[in-house]
Structure formats: C-alpha cells, structure tokens
Amino acid sequence: MPPTGAGTRLLNWASAIEDATLEQARRTAAMPFIHPHVALMPDAHPGMGSAVGTVIPTLRAVIPAAVGVDIGCGMIGVETTLSHSDIADLDLAQLRQDVERVIPLSPGNYNGHLDRFEFTAAKIAELEELAAKSGVDLSHSPKWRQQLGSLGGGNHFIELCLDERDRVWLFLHSGSRGVGNKIAKKHIAVAQKMCEKWWIQLPDRDLAYLAQGTPEFDRYIADLTWAQRFAYLNRAEMMDRFLHQFVHRAGTDTSVESDRINCHHNYTRPEKHAGKDVWLTRKGAVHAAEGVRAIIPGSMGTRSYVVEGKGSASGLHSAPHGAGRRFSRAEARKRYTQDDLRERMVGIEYRDSAEFIDEIPDAYKSIDVVMEDARDLVTVLHELRQIMNVKGT
C-alpha cells in the first residue's frame, strides 16, 4: 500500500495500527534532528520509547533506546539444493532434539566449551580482534564467548522450511544475546544522563540521544558496531551448527548449501537519504534498498518470506521485519490455551509445551496483511512454510 501521512515528518505503511503506536511514532518524528521523516512499517507496534517497526533517520545524533536492547537482532536463512522428497525419511523429531542439544536455547544458558566445532574459533578470533582494535570494553560480559552460538528466549526460533518449489531451507532468528543487552542498557543510561545534564526536555526518557562529536557518541558507535557484528556471527554460528546436524541426519554434506542470507532488523548505520548523511536506525525493520535481499518471518506456525528490496525512497529503503505482535504475552496467555497452540501447529514438528502459548500465531498480526501492505517496498522471491520448529525457552 502507498504510505499515509500520520503526522508531521511521519509516513505510515500499516493498514492496521494501534493509537499507542502512532503516538510513539509522532513523538519520535518530533525530535529536532529527524531528516527527512520517520517511516512506520506495516508490522509496527508499541515498543520502548519508539515503536517497533519504526525507521528513524537522524542528523548527527543517535537514540540508543530506539536501536533497542537486542542490538543486531535479525534473521539468517540457508537455501539448500535438496527438495522435500530428498528428506522424506528424515526423522524430524530426532533432528529437533539434535539441534536443541548443540544450541543453548534459554537466555541464561551458555555453551559449556568452545571447541566442539572447528568453525567456532575463527568467529571468536574476529570478535576479539574487533574489540581490541575499537577499544570495546567487555568486562561487563566475561562469558560473551560462551554466548556465541546460543539462541536466547522469547520469539527467537530455529526452523526447517520448504519453499513454494518444495526446496529445503534452514532458518533462524536471534541477536546479540546478553552481551548486546548490557551494551545497550549501558548507553541508554548514558544518553539519559547526558540529556538531564544539559537540561534537554524529552517527550519520553527513552528518546534520550547522544550527539555526534562527543566522546559518549563515539563510544556508543564503537560498542554498537561490535555488538552488531556479534549478532551477525552469532546467527552464522548457530546456522553452521544447525547445518552440521541437518546434513548428518540427512546423510549428505554441507555442499548442499546453495545460498545464505543474513540480515539485521534492530540496528543503526550511516546512510544517505534525501540528500543528507544520516544515522539510519531500523528498529524492527530490514534493509530493502533496490536489489538487497532480506528475510521477513511470520509467526510460529505461519509463512515466512524471502524478499528483494525495491529501494523505496519514501520507505527509507526499508521493509517490515515480521508479523508484529497483536497481544502482549500476558494477554495471549489469557486468550489461548495449549490445545489452541496444538491445533495451529498440526503438521509441524515442535516441542509441545505450555511455555509457548504466548507465541501462538493468533498473538501476532496477519503476515498476509503485513506483506500486502509492503508490496511497494519489496518483491517476494520465496514463500516458506515450516515443517520443524525450535523455540527459545
């Protein structure tokens, strides 16, 4: 759908949107350094300070809470050369258990040791080198190495999928884990203190910002860059482990991987929009410049999409990052039961547990509506349906 004006310097692509989301977006758009406008994606919903699904271009400033506490959260997908018929005899329950064994699932779980897979060492070495080069202090997270290759909780997931051709895909969603969370909270607090120090009146404390040219800004960008790289490599590490287990059970080897897409949906980076250099924050959105591929997942039990950006200038070269929640976790637990979830997951191998009731597809917006609203932002390349699901606990 074409965007609608929803306020000064605010364009909205969502056909179904809450008043609270619009109010948050208007407050963000009213910040003095926005250029040229804030873009609300089709899956937008209330968040911390800024709505999730908001694209925020800023001149010489960054809002740490707008980037969020799960820095670099995003998606990775691997397309294989295999078709559904090639894995007809694959024991999906056994594969799910294999994956759950090699990838720590809950927010508080870490890898017990780092030498289980030979491909892990290079990623850790890269992150160590980047931290040393950039002066990133990770003393607040002494176990960051053990976090690499762990999924976390909430709506993070791992899936085995089939596309419209019945081609097999490996799919997962995660971010920068505990280390990214601590980096984010540290700099959100710094931004709030700086705004208080200079008597800056904010419409919301979580819109506190850091100004370019200050040591605090430079420190945040260095830490942010490291955390975004950690999130990217964390997804790559989990995918390497997932692929390792998959090819073992399928009786093949890793040469079946034919393509890989790894994209952030909570991050900041320098871009040029409307003739000016800005810091472009995608808080729950993917990069969708012309020809750029990205992944837009549905909810547990619904379709996901591999897409290519159309380079919409008014959309700030962005697109939605998923279905977006309709109900809070508490509200979802009031409305739905474990039996409701079982009904929605028929035909999909998953861990049958009441802890996932709040992730039922009904708690999310319709991915079909989100994709229809995004038709001017992206072209759909592939439509995926899951046959196995692993949720973060």
The two structure tokens encoding residue 297: 């997942």
pLDDT of residue 6: 67
Same domain, 357 and 382: no
Question: How far apart are the C-alpha atoms of 79 and 23, rounded to whole Å?
Answer: 40
Same domain, 333 and 263: no
Same domain, 237 and 258: yes
The two structure tokens encoding residue 9: 């310097």
> Do residues 169 and 163 make contact, with C-beta atoms less than 8 angstroms apart?
yes
Residue 281 pairs in a beta bridge with 56, 268
Same domain, 152 and 86: yes
Coil, strand or helix: which one is 26? helix
Question: How far apart are the C-alpha atoms of 195 and 210, rounded to whole Å?
Answer: 8
Q: What are phi and psi of 249, to 5 degrees?
A: -70, -30
Provide the CATH number for the domain around residue 31.
3.90.1860.10
Same domain, 226 and 355: no
> Do residues 77 and 189 make contact, with C-beta atoms less than 8 angstroms apart?
no
User: What residue spans of the chain are helical by DSSP H?
Assistant: 19-29, 64-67, 92-102, 120-134, 144-147, 177-197, 215-250, 329-335, 338-344, 367-373
Domain span holding position 343: 327-363
Which one is catalytic: 156, 187, 287, 321? 321
Answer yes or no: 321 catalytic: yes
- Amino acid letter, residue 372: E
The two structure tokens encoding residue 125: 């070495």
Q: How many folded domains does the chain comprise? A: 2
Same domain, 69 and 99: yes
Q: H-helix or E-strand containing 268?
A: strand 266-273
Q: Between the CA atoms of 49, 304, 172 and 40, what dihedral angle is there, to the nearest 10 degrees?
A: -20
Low-confidence stretches of the chain (pLDDT beneath 50): none
pLDDT of residue 181: 96
Same domain, 81 and 148: yes
pLDDT of residue 7: 67
Same domain, 293 and 357: no
Same domain, 137 and 253: yes
Question: How far apart are the C-alpha atoms of 112 and 314, rounded to whole Å?
Answer: 47
Same domain, 194 and 230: yes
Closest CA to 174 of 247, 103, 116, 269: 103
Same domain, 310 and 165: yes
> Do residues 173 and 304 make contact, with C-beta atoms less than 8 angstroms apart?
no
Question: How far apart are the C-alpha atoms of 298 and 361, rounded to whole Å?
Answer: 8
Coil, strand or helix: which one is 371? helix
In the block, residue with structure tokens 């002066």: 135
> Do residues 172 and 159 make contact, with C-beta atoms less than 8 angstroms apart?
yes
Same domain, 345 and 199: no
